[in-house]
């Protein structure tokens, strides 16, 4: 049976089959355009990533001072007198490191190490001692200026690591000062001497660590003093300048060039063993052999504070490391360091600064 659906248009009745009506309806739906789909919203263009900040290149520093050093420089060591007759010293305030060591009769001599600045006048220059051979080996093969040694010590100098620029090798780099009396009037032209030592070693790590920040710990002080039988050294803290005024043998140590007092940024009091050596002077005085290879205790004085430390140097070619009580490296104030080699049977005297609670 076929079913029809009727539609009325005016008076005319049109009868259409139901199937035709459905087809028409479907056809109408097929021709209807759907509403256009809105285009997907465009994602905003990604912002350009910021360029990473360039990592700052650390400024190279000297392993001997912690001060800026573009490239390693040759090392010069000079042996100096350390009596009242030596004052004022020439060139000493330009040294990177200043060592004080005991010699015969309980007196002391200075071994000054230069690299950052090389003065044209350094002195007064005096003779070397057996201690210098081991002491200077940690710098490699530094140029070594000294006025002479005992005859039987020359073979040891020749076999050592130093580059000998004594008058025995190059007298023309030395001169006498007519305004001073001998033997305290012998001076080195450091620039000329170092130019002659073309194979002198360059600055290298000798175990020192530097930091401008004061380490935690330690205890306050106003003055550190050390004594030998016939010599002394005192370091008085200048809180305004943040360094130490130097006194040698009871008097202010002076700079010849400026007329000002010598200053130290860091002071190391290194307790060492000493033993009688094979070397005696004409009067029978023995030169002790100061042992700088090994280990021991010490004090580091910086920024108005003193720190108990231990030191270690396993062999002649190695540098000397200094550790705090907790085992961390002891750091030094960048600048000039004085190292006092003091027989372990003696002890430095530390004058502590008054605590704030004791101040009226």
Of the listed ranges 27-31, 72-76, 275-279, the one predicted with least confidence: 27-31
CB atoms within 10 A of CB 174: 19
In a domain, 214, yes or no: no
Round to whole Å and give the CA distance between 297 and 263: 24
Q: In this predicted model, what pLDDT tens digit does every residue of 325-336 receive, in sequence order?
A: 999 999 999 999
CA dist., res. 298 & res. 189, Å (int): 34
Give the integer Cα–Cα distance in Å for 226 and 231. Answer: 9
Which residues make Cβ contacts (< 8 Å) with residue 158, sequence separation at least 6?
164
Do 209 and 332 contact (CB within 8 A), yes or no? yes
Query: Same domain for 229 and 349?
Result: yes
Is residue 2 scored above 70 in pLDDT? Answer: no
202: in domain: no
Residues 192 and 224 in one domain: no
User: Do 251 and 311 share a domain, yes or no?
Assistant: yes
Residues in the chain, total? 360
Pull the structure tokens for residue 238.
Answer: 């200048």
- In the three-class reduction of DSSP (H, G, I as helix; E, B as strand; rest coil), residue 299 is classed as strand
pLDDT of residue 49: 66
User: Same structural domain for residues 247 and 312?
Assistant: yes
Is 98:337 a contact under the CB 8 Å cutoff? Answer: yes
Work out how many domains the chain is built from and give that number: 2
DSSP 187: E
| pLDDT-wise least confident of 56-70, 101-115, 155-169 | 56-70
Q: How far apart are CA 298 and CA 234, in angstroms?
A: 16
Can you give the residue range of the structural domain that contains 258? 219-269+289-358
Examine the domain organization and report whether 318 and 242 are in the same domain.
Answer: yes
Domain assignment of residue 177, yes or no: yes
Number of Cβ within 10 Å of residue 194's Cβ equals 24
Same domain, 106 and 228: no
Range with the largest mean pLDDT of 21-35, 57-71, 168-182: 168-182
pLDDT at 42: 58
Query: Residue 134 phi/psi, 5° resolution?
Result: -70, -40
Residue 43 confidence (pLDDT) above 60:
no
pLDDT at position 8 is 37
pLDDT at 118: 98
Q: What is the mean pLDDT of residues 225-233?
A: 97
What six digits make up the tokens of 322?
A: 């200094």
Q: Is 272 helix (H, G, I), strand (E, B) or coil?
A: strand
Q: Are residues 140 and 256 in the same domain?
A: no
Residues 303 and 344 in one domain: yes
Residue 37 above 50 pLDDT? yes
Predicted pLDDT of residue 39: 55
Q: Indicate which CATH number applies to the domain containing 108.
A: 3.50.90.10
Arithmetic mean of pLDDT, 61-73: 97
Closest CA to 98 of 307, 329, 266, 321: 266
Q: Are residues 299 and 187 in the same domain?
A: no
Indicate whether 9 belongs to any domain. Answer: no
Residue 98 clears pLDDT 80, i.e. is over it? yes
Last residue of a domain, one of 136, 164, 196: 196
83 neighbors 249 (Cβ within 8 angstroms): yes
Q: 234-250: per-residue pLDDT in tens?
A: 999 999 999 999 999 99
Task: Determine which of 54-68, 193-207, 215-229, 319-333 has the lowest per-residue pLDDT on average.
Answer: 54-68
Do 234 and 184 fall into the same domain? no
Q: Evaluate whether residue 30 is within a structural domain.
A: no
Q: Examine the domain organization and report whether 164 and 107 are in the same domain.
A: yes
342 in the same domain as 237:
yes
pLDDT at 210 over 50: yes
Residue-wise pLDDT for 128-179, tens only, equals: 999 999 999 999 999 999 999 999 999 999 999 999 999 999 999 999 999 9
Tokens representing residue 188 in the block:
């080195």
Tell me the average pLDDT of the chain: 88
Beta bridge partners of 233: 226, 248
Partnered with residue 238 across adjacent β-strands are 243
Give the closest residue to 195 by CA, choosing from 49, 15, 74. 74
Concatenated DSSP letters of 98-140? EEEEE-GGG-EEEEEEESS---S-BB-B----HHHHHHHHTTS
Top-confidence residue, 301 or 4: 301
The answer to whether position 7 is within a domain reads no
Structure tokens at 244: 């130490």
The residue out of 164, 196, 228 marking a domain boundary is 196
Evaluate if residue 25 carries a pLDDT over 90. Answer: no
Q: Residue 319 in contact with residue 207, Cβ under 8 Å?
A: yes
pLDDT for residue 111 is more than 50: yes
Task: Give the pLDDT confidence score for residue 357 in this predicted structure.
Answer: 36
């Amino acid at each position: 049976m076929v079913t029809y659906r009727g539609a009325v248009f005016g008076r005319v009745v049109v009868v259409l089959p139901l199937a035709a009506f459905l087809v028409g309806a479907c056809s109408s739906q097929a021709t209807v355009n759907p509403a256009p789909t809105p285009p997907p919203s465009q994602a905003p263009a990604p912002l350009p990533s910021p360029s990473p900040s360039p990592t700052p290149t650390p400024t190279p520093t000297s392993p001997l001072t912690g001060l800026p050093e573009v490239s390693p420089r040759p090392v010069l060591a000079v042996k100096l007198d350390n009596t009242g007759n030596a004052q004022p010293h020439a060139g000493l305030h330009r040294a990177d490191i200043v060592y004080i060591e005991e010699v015969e009769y309980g007196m002391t001599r200075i071994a000054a190490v230069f690299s950052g600045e090389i003065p044209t006048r350094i002195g007064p220059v005096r003779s070397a001692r057996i201690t210098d051979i081991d002491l200077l080996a940690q710098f490699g093969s530094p140029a070594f200026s000294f006025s002479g040694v005992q005859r039987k010590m020359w073979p040891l100098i020749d076999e050592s690591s130093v580059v000998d620029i004594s008058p025995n090798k190059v007298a023309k780099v030395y001169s006498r000062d007519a305004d001073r009396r001998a033997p305290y009037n012998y001076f080195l032209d450091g620039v000329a001497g170092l130019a002659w030592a073309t194979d002198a070693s360059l600055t290298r790590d000798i175990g020192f660590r530097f930091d401008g920040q004061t380490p935690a710990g330690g205890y306050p002080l106003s003055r550190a003093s050390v004594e030998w039988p016939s010599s002394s050294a005192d370091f008085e803290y200048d809180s305004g300048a943040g360094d130490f005024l130097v006194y040698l043998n009871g008097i202010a140590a002076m700079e010849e060039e400026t007329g000002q007092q010598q200053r130290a940024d860091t002071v190391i009091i290194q307790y060492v063993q000493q033993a009688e050596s094979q070397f005696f002077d004409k009067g029978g005085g023995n030169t002790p052999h100061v042992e700088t290879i090994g280990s021991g205790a010490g004090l580091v004085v910086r920024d108005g504070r003193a720190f108990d430390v231990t030191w270690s140097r396993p062999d002649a070619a190695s540098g000397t490391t200094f550790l705090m009580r907790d085992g961390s490296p002891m750091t030094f104030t960048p600048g000039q360091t004085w190292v006092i080699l003091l027989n372990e049977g003696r002890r430095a005297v530390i004058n502590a600064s008054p605590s704030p609670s004791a101040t009226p």
